[in-house]
Amino acid sequence: MSARPQPASAVRPYDVERVRRDFPILATRVNGHPLTYLDSAASSQRPRQVLRAIEDYETHSHANVHRGVHTLSQAATGAFEGARERARRFINAASVREVIFVRGTTEGINLVAQSYARPRYRTGDEILISALEHHANIVPWQLVCEQTRCTLKVAPINTRGELDYEAFRRLLSPRTRLVAVAHISNALGTILPVAELIRDAHAQGAVVLIDGAQAAPHTRVDVQALGADFYTFSAHKMYGPTGIGVLYAREALLESMPPWQGGGDMIRTVSFERTTYNELPYRFEAGTPNISGAIGLAAAMDYLESLSLEAVAAHEARLLELATAQVGALPDIELIGTAAHKAAVLSFTMRGVHAHDLGTILDAEGVAVRTGHHCAMPVMTFFNVPATARASFGCYNTEEDVARLVAALQRARGLFG
């Protein structure tokens, strides 16, 4: 995390009721109950400020970007490139040349896998991930291993769902070319020691990709302070729209990478004999981008910073503590993932009840939780469960939401006897 000064709002008390009024969808009733939305780790809701920024753009400024001399195209280009600068500031990248708009975390990781790793690696090279990764940070590396015959290594976790750091360090070697880990686990909520991990990986000459999908909404990310080589996240988990995210990559690395996808906007000149490529970051953004998405993402960043990321994180930490104590005290509940450092996620099982049945019963009470493997099947295998129920918290959740979750779980227990 950065040592940048905290905004003045960080010292104001956190007014969750005021925050909730920014999210129209929270007034929805589900199955006759007020909505208790506890699925922000899958996708968060959007505040009016984001909805309005998108509508304003679509209503007044839409045209294609980078191509037109006409007024609307210039307005759209200005807004789109303004969003890039907003994203640069949000993660403290050194330059907008290092900020690539992608569809989301999944595309960011695939871009690095195919454009950075695939042309470089061969037999004997190793890619090191951890055992708590989302499928988006497993499968792209498996594809690279199939394509190049390099080897995938997996650092284990312990029964609390923490990275076994000693084992991780033992797996690091001069053969390790790339380390790819989550900043925060989506299935368990574990916060990984990414700054230390990046230092240790760099000491062995490896580059590091951080999957920041779950971190960007909860933690101030400073890519320069972290020393990350690649850092990627999705807007829709941080109060922005779907279909847009950011891949941060150090400029020197991007300069050394071939384009991933070809098409409009990523070229400088094209002839049938030879094509030359555009400068950064456009070389990695083939085709018409998600313009309104980028504008919505920038508005989401403005929104989060207006609340203060530190204040949001502190609020969510209080809710997590409360929910951990209360849900953990219920009969027949087992908490899955009890790391010392966690953020905003409570995964659990109820003895004798499949997670999907539990999710359906909770939904009947208006309580939205995620059930299933959370795109982290190896984590489920490790804990020897087919699935978990997962409650995840965002800036708009309240103690009342925790109470409703607990009451609904008690009713579910009663139903299953």
Give the nearer residue to ligand PLP in terms of CB position, either 106 or 308. 106
Q: How far is the CB of 57 from ligand PLP (least distance, A)?
A: 21
Minimum gap (Å) between residue 153 Cβ and ligand PLP: 19
CA pair distance 306, 294, nearest whole angstrom: 18
Specify burial of residue 247 (Cβ count, 10 A radius: 0-12, 13-18, 19+). buried
Nearer to ligand PLP, 76 or 217 (CB): 217
* Least distance in angstroms from the C-beta of 385 to ligand PLP: 18
Least separation, in Å, of the C-beta of 375 and ligand PLP?
6
CA distance 224 to 210: 13
Q: Which residues contact 228 (CB under 8 A, 6 or more apart)?
A: 194, 198, 208, 209, 210, 248
Question: Do the beta carbons of residue 286 and residue 259 sit within 8 Å?
Answer: yes
Are 248 and 232 contacting, i.e. CB atoms less than 8 angstroms apart?
A: yes
- Provide the minimum distance between the beta carbon of 186 and ligand PLP in the complex, in angstroms, as a whole number: 3
Taking the complex as a whole, the smallest distance from the CB of residue 103 to ligand PLP amounts, in Å, to 7
Contact 137, 182 (CB under 8 A): yes
Task: Pick between residue 14 and residue 239 the one whose CB is nearest to ligand PLP.
Answer: 239
Measured from the CB atom, the residue of 108 and 281 that comes closer to ligand PLP is: 108
Dihedral of alpha carbons 52, 101, 244, 210, sign: negative
Instruction: Annotate 247-290 with DSSP letters as a single string.
Output: EEE-HHHHHTSPPSS-STTSEEEE-SS-EEEPPTTGGG--SS--
In which element (H, E) is residue 126 found? Answer: strand 126-130
Q: Dihedral of the CA atoms 356, 362, 367, 373 (nearest 10)?
A: -20
Q: How far is the CB of 29 from ligand PLP (least distance, A)?
A: 27
CB 304 within 8 A of CB 238: yes
What residue has token string 């360090």?
169
Assigned token pair, 322: 């409360």
CA distance linking residue 351 with residue 216, whole number of Å: 33
Closer residue to ligand PLP (CB): 136 or 198: 136
For ligand PLP, the closer CB: 63 or 152: 152
Strand order from edge to edge, sheet including 99-102:
99-102, 245-249, 230-234, 207-211, 176-182, 126-130, 151-155
* Residue 375 among the catalytic residues: yes
- For the bound state, the minimum distance from the C-beta of residue 105 to ligand PLP, rounded and expressed in Å, comes to 4
Residues in touch with ligand PLP (CB under 6 A): 104-106, 134, 136-137, 182, 186, 211, 213-214, 234, 375
Nearer CB in complex with ligand PLP: 106/278: 106
The label of the residue with tokens 């951990």 reads 324
Buried b (16+ CB within 10 A) or exposed e, 336-352: bbbbeebbbbbbbbbee
> Is the CB of 98 or the CB of 211 nearer to ligand PLP?
211
Farthest CA pair distance, the chain: 73
Tokens 């847009």 -> residue: 244
Determine which one of 145, 150, 375, 395 is catalytic. 375
Question: Among 76, 67, 41, 20, which residue's Cα sits nearest to residue 293?
Answer: 76
Give catalytic residues, as residue numbers: 375
